[in-house]
Chain A
Amino acid sequence: AQSVTQPDIHITVSEGASLELRCNYSYGATPYLFWYVQSPGQGLQLLLKYFSGDTLVQGIKGFEAEFKRSQSSFNLRKPSVHWSDAAEYFCAVGARGNTPLVFGKGTRLSVIA
Chain B
Amino acid sequence: DTAVSQTPKYLVTQMGNDKSIKCEQNLGHDTMYWYKQDSKKFLKIMFSYNNKELIINETVPNRFSPKSPDKAHLNLHINSLELGDSAVYFCASSQGAGTGELFFGEGSRLTVL
Chain A positions within 8 Å of B, measured between CB atoms, are 32, 34, 36, 38, 41-46, 49, 88, 90, 92, 94-103, 105-106, 108
Contacts and interface: CB of A to CB of B under 8 A. Distances in A.
Given A41-B107, A44-B90, 7 more contacts: A43-B106, A49-B100, A95-B100, A98-B48, A98-B56, A98-B98, A101-B45
Contacts of B42: 103, 105-106
A103 B43 contact: yes
Interface of B: 4, 33, 40-45, 48, 50, 55-56, 90, 92, 97-107
Contacts of B33: 100
B105 A96 contact: no
B90 A105 contact: no
A92 B45 CA distance: 12
25 contacts: A32-B100, A36-B104, A38-B41, A41-B106, A43-B90, A43-B104, A44-B90, A45-B104, A46-B103, A49-B100, A88-B41, A90-B43, A92-B100, A94-B98, A94-B99, A94-B100, A95-B98, A98-B56, A98-B98, A99-B97, A100-B56, A101-B100, A101-B102, A106-B42, A106-B43
A60 to B, nearest CB: 13
Contacts of A46: 101-103
A108 B44 CA distance: 18
B100 A98 contact: no
Contacts of A34: 100-101
A67 B113 CA distance: 44
Contacts of B45: 100-102
A98 B50 contact: yes
Nearest to A44: B104
A100 B104 contact: no
A42 B101 contact: no
Q: Closest 3 A-B residue pairs measured CB to CB?
A: A94-B100, A43-B104, A100-B45
Nearest to A33: B100
Contacts of B98: 94-99
A83 B101 CA distance: 27
